Amino acid sequence: MAARRMRAAEARPDRRTAVIRLVRNREHVDEVIERGIRAAKTSVWVATANLKDVHVEAPIGTSARARGRYVSLFGELDQAARRGVEVRILHAGPPSRALGARLRSGSKQSLSLRRCLRVHLKVIAVDGALLYLGSANFTGAGLGAKGDGRRNFEAGIVTDDEWLLDEMQGTFDAIWTGKHCSTCQLRAQCPMPLDTYVESKLRQTKRKKRP
Protein backbone atom coordinates (compact mmCIF):
# COMPACT_ATOMS: atom_id res chain seq x y z
CA MET A 1 0.00 0.00 0.00
CA ALA A 2 2.78 2.46 0.94
CA ALA A 3 4.70 1.61 -2.24
CA ARG A 4 1.56 2.24 -4.34
CA ARG A 5 1.07 5.65 -2.71
CA MET A 6 4.72 6.54 -3.37
CA ARG A 7 4.42 5.55 -7.06
CA ALA A 8 1.22 7.60 -7.36
CA ALA A 9 2.94 10.62 -5.81
CA GLU A 10 5.88 10.29 -8.23
CA ALA A 11 3.45 10.15 -11.16
CA ARG A 12 1.78 13.36 -9.99
CA PRO A 13 4.53 15.82 -8.99
CA ASP A 14 1.90 18.32 -7.80
CA ARG A 15 1.16 15.98 -4.91
CA ARG A 16 3.97 16.38 -2.44
CA THR A 17 4.84 16.94 1.19
CA ALA A 18 5.66 20.52 2.13
CA VAL A 19 6.27 22.38 5.37
CA ILE A 20 3.53 24.98 5.84
CA ARG A 21 2.25 27.26 8.60
CA LEU A 22 -1.47 27.80 9.08
CA VAL A 23 -2.42 31.46 9.56
CA ARG A 24 -5.82 32.72 10.65
CA ASN A 25 -7.36 36.13 11.19
CA ARG A 26 -4.96 38.48 13.05
CA GLU A 27 -2.03 36.12 12.39
CA HIS A 28 -2.00 37.43 8.79
CA VAL A 29 -0.54 40.70 10.06
CA ASP A 30 2.38 38.98 11.80
CA GLU A 31 3.15 36.30 9.23
CA VAL A 32 2.35 38.02 5.92
CA ILE A 33 3.00 41.71 6.60
CA GLU A 34 5.63 41.86 9.37
CA ARG A 35 7.70 38.78 8.42
CA GLY A 36 6.89 38.97 4.72
CA ILE A 37 6.12 42.26 2.98
CA ARG A 38 8.01 44.51 5.39
CA ALA A 39 11.11 42.31 5.18
CA ALA A 40 11.19 42.28 1.34
CA LYS A 41 14.57 42.85 -0.29
CA THR A 42 13.97 42.15 -3.99
CA SER A 43 10.30 41.51 -4.85
CA VAL A 44 6.70 41.54 -3.65
CA TRP A 45 4.06 39.98 -5.91
CA VAL A 46 0.43 40.32 -4.84
CA ALA A 47 -2.66 38.77 -6.45
CA THR A 48 -6.03 39.80 -5.05
CA ALA A 49 -9.64 40.12 -6.14
CA ASN A 50 -10.32 43.33 -4.21
CA LEU A 51 -7.80 46.13 -3.74
CA LYS A 52 -7.91 48.84 -1.08
CA ASP A 53 -5.51 51.21 0.69
CA VAL A 54 -4.66 48.88 3.56
CA HIS A 55 -3.70 50.53 6.83
CA VAL A 56 -1.67 48.67 9.42
CA GLU A 57 0.16 49.43 12.65
CA ALA A 58 3.39 51.33 12.04
CA PRO A 59 6.54 49.14 11.87
CA ILE A 60 7.81 47.67 15.13
CA GLY A 61 10.56 49.76 16.70
CA THR A 62 9.47 53.07 15.20
CA SER A 63 8.32 56.14 17.10
CA ALA A 64 5.09 56.00 15.09
CA ARG A 65 4.46 52.51 16.50
CA ALA A 66 5.13 53.77 20.03
CA ARG A 67 2.51 56.48 19.48
CA GLY A 68 0.01 53.90 18.27
CA ARG A 69 -0.11 55.26 14.72
CA TYR A 70 -1.37 53.40 11.66
CA VAL A 71 0.24 53.76 8.24
CA SER A 72 -0.64 52.93 4.65
CA LEU A 73 0.82 49.63 3.52
CA PHE A 74 0.66 50.99 -0.02
CA GLY A 75 2.84 53.86 1.13
CA GLU A 76 5.39 51.36 2.36
CA LEU A 77 5.21 49.41 -0.91
CA ASP A 78 5.74 52.66 -2.79
CA GLN A 79 8.87 53.37 -0.73
CA ALA A 80 10.11 49.80 -1.28
CA ALA A 81 9.60 50.14 -5.04
CA ARG A 82 11.61 53.37 -5.06
CA ARG A 83 14.43 51.46 -3.29
CA GLY A 84 14.44 48.95 -6.14
CA VAL A 85 12.09 46.25 -4.83
CA GLU A 86 9.96 44.89 -7.70
CA VAL A 87 6.34 45.40 -6.62
CA ARG A 88 3.71 43.73 -8.81
CA ILE A 89 0.03 43.92 -7.92
CA LEU A 90 -2.47 41.88 -9.92
CA HIS A 91 -6.13 42.62 -9.17
CA ALA A 92 -9.64 42.01 -10.51
CA GLY A 93 -11.78 44.86 -9.19
CA PRO A 94 -10.95 48.55 -9.54
CA PRO A 95 -8.97 50.12 -6.69
CA SER A 96 -11.03 51.68 -3.91
CA ARG A 97 -11.69 55.43 -4.08
CA ALA A 98 -9.05 56.19 -1.42
CA LEU A 99 -6.45 54.03 -3.13
CA GLY A 100 -7.29 55.50 -6.52
CA ALA A 101 -6.56 58.97 -5.13
CA ARG A 102 -3.21 57.76 -3.75
CA LEU A 103 -2.25 56.23 -7.09
CA ARG A 104 -3.17 59.40 -8.97
CA SER A 105 -0.96 61.38 -6.58
CA GLY A 106 2.15 59.60 -7.79
CA SER A 107 2.46 56.11 -6.29
CA LYS A 108 1.48 54.51 -9.58
CA GLN A 109 4.76 55.70 -11.11
CA SER A 110 6.77 53.36 -8.89
CA LEU A 111 4.29 50.49 -8.37
CA SER A 112 3.26 48.09 -11.14
CA LEU A 113 -0.46 47.30 -11.18
CA ARG A 114 -2.29 45.20 -13.76
CA ARG A 115 -5.94 44.25 -13.83
CA CYS A 116 -7.50 40.96 -14.90
CA LEU A 117 -11.22 40.44 -14.35
CA ARG A 118 -10.75 36.72 -13.72
CA VAL A 119 -8.29 37.05 -10.84
CA HIS A 120 -9.76 35.55 -7.71
CA LEU A 121 -6.67 33.87 -6.28
CA LYS A 122 -5.08 35.46 -3.23
CA VAL A 123 -1.32 35.09 -3.43
CA ILE A 124 1.58 37.01 -1.93
CA ALA A 125 5.13 36.01 -2.87
CA VAL A 126 8.08 37.80 -1.26
CA ASP A 127 11.66 37.62 -2.57
CA GLY A 128 10.90 34.27 -4.21
CA ALA A 129 11.32 32.83 -0.71
CA LEU A 130 8.01 33.23 1.13
CA LEU A 131 4.58 32.34 -0.22
CA TYR A 132 1.12 33.08 1.17
CA LEU A 133 -1.92 31.28 -0.24
CA GLY A 134 -5.29 31.85 1.36
CA SER A 135 -8.57 33.68 1.50
CA ALA A 136 -7.43 37.21 2.41
CA ASN A 137 -7.83 40.00 -0.13
CA PHE A 138 -5.49 43.00 -0.08
CA THR A 139 -7.94 44.99 2.05
CA GLY A 140 -8.15 46.25 5.61
CA ALA A 141 -10.67 43.59 6.58
CA GLY A 142 -8.46 40.90 5.07
CA LEU A 143 -4.90 41.90 5.98
CA GLY A 144 -5.09 45.25 7.70
CA ALA A 145 -5.87 46.87 11.00
CA LYS A 146 -9.56 46.16 11.41
CA GLY A 147 -10.45 45.33 15.00
CA ASP A 148 -10.99 41.72 16.02
CA GLY A 149 -14.75 42.30 16.09
CA ARG A 150 -14.77 43.71 12.54
CA ARG A 151 -12.10 41.91 10.54
CA ASN A 152 -13.01 39.07 8.20
CA PHE A 153 -12.55 35.50 9.26
CA GLU A 154 -9.60 34.55 7.05
CA ALA A 155 -7.35 31.51 6.74
CA GLY A 156 -4.36 30.57 4.64
CA ILE A 157 -0.92 29.04 4.66
CA VAL A 158 2.63 30.42 4.56
CA THR A 159 5.50 28.36 3.21
CA ASP A 160 9.02 28.60 1.83
CA ASP A 161 8.60 25.44 -0.25
CA GLU A 162 10.53 25.97 -3.49
CA TRP A 163 8.18 23.92 -5.70
CA LEU A 164 5.08 25.75 -4.47
CA LEU A 165 6.84 29.08 -4.93
CA ASP A 166 7.86 28.20 -8.49
CA GLU A 167 4.38 26.95 -9.39
CA MET A 168 2.48 29.92 -7.98
CA GLN A 169 4.93 32.52 -9.29
CA GLY A 170 4.60 30.84 -12.68
CA THR A 171 0.80 31.01 -12.39
CA PHE A 172 1.02 34.69 -11.44
CA ASP A 173 3.44 35.53 -14.24
CA ALA A 174 1.31 33.81 -16.89
CA ILE A 175 -1.62 36.07 -15.98
CA TRP A 176 0.63 39.12 -15.60
CA THR A 177 2.07 38.74 -19.08
CA GLY A 178 -1.28 38.05 -20.75
CA LYS A 179 -0.70 34.43 -21.72
CA HIS A 180 -4.37 33.56 -21.11
CA CYS A 181 -5.82 36.59 -22.89
CA SER A 182 -6.16 35.12 -26.38
CA THR A 183 -8.59 32.43 -25.19
CA CYS A 184 -10.38 34.52 -22.54
CA GLN A 185 -14.15 34.70 -23.03
CA LEU A 186 -14.31 37.91 -20.95
CA ARG A 187 -11.93 39.77 -23.26
CA ALA A 188 -14.67 42.06 -24.62
CA GLN A 189 -15.41 43.22 -21.06
CA CYS A 190 -11.77 43.78 -20.13
CA PRO A 191 -10.69 47.44 -19.73
CA MET A 192 -7.24 46.58 -21.15
CA PRO A 193 -6.38 42.99 -22.14
CA LEU A 194 -2.96 42.26 -20.69
CA ASP A 195 -1.51 40.84 -23.89
CA THR A 196 -2.33 44.13 -25.62
CA TYR A 197 -0.87 46.07 -22.71
CA VAL A 198 2.36 44.04 -22.72
CA GLU A 199 2.75 44.52 -26.48
CA SER A 200 2.28 48.28 -26.15
CA LYS A 201 4.92 48.43 -23.39
CA LEU A 202 7.37 46.51 -25.58
CA ARG A 203 6.80 48.92 -28.46
CA GLN A 204 7.39 51.88 -26.15
CA THR A 205 10.63 50.33 -24.91
CA LYS A 206 11.85 49.73 -28.48
CA ARG A 207 11.09 53.31 -29.46
CA LYS A 208 13.04 54.63 -26.49
CA LYS A 209 16.08 52.55 -27.48
CA ARG A 210 16.18 53.96 -31.01
CA PRO A 211 18.93 56.57 -31.54
pLDDT at 147 over 60: yes
**If you compute the radius of gyration of the chain from its CA atoms, what whole number of angstroms results?**
19
Measured between alpha carbons, how far apart are the two ends of the chain, in Å?
Answer: 67
Contact present, 70 and 56 (Cβ < 8 Å):
yes
Q: What is the mean pLDDT of residues 17-42?
A: 93
Q: What fold characterizes domain 18-176?
A: Endonuclease; Chain A (3.30.870)
Question: Given pLDDT bands bounded at 50, 70 and 90, which one contains residue 8?
Answer: very low
What's the whole-model pTM score?
Answer: 0.86
The predicted pLDDT at position 12 comes to: 58
Question: Given pLDDT bands bounded at 50, 70 and 90, which one contains residue 14?
Answer: low
**CA torsion angle 17 20 24 27 (round to 10):** 180
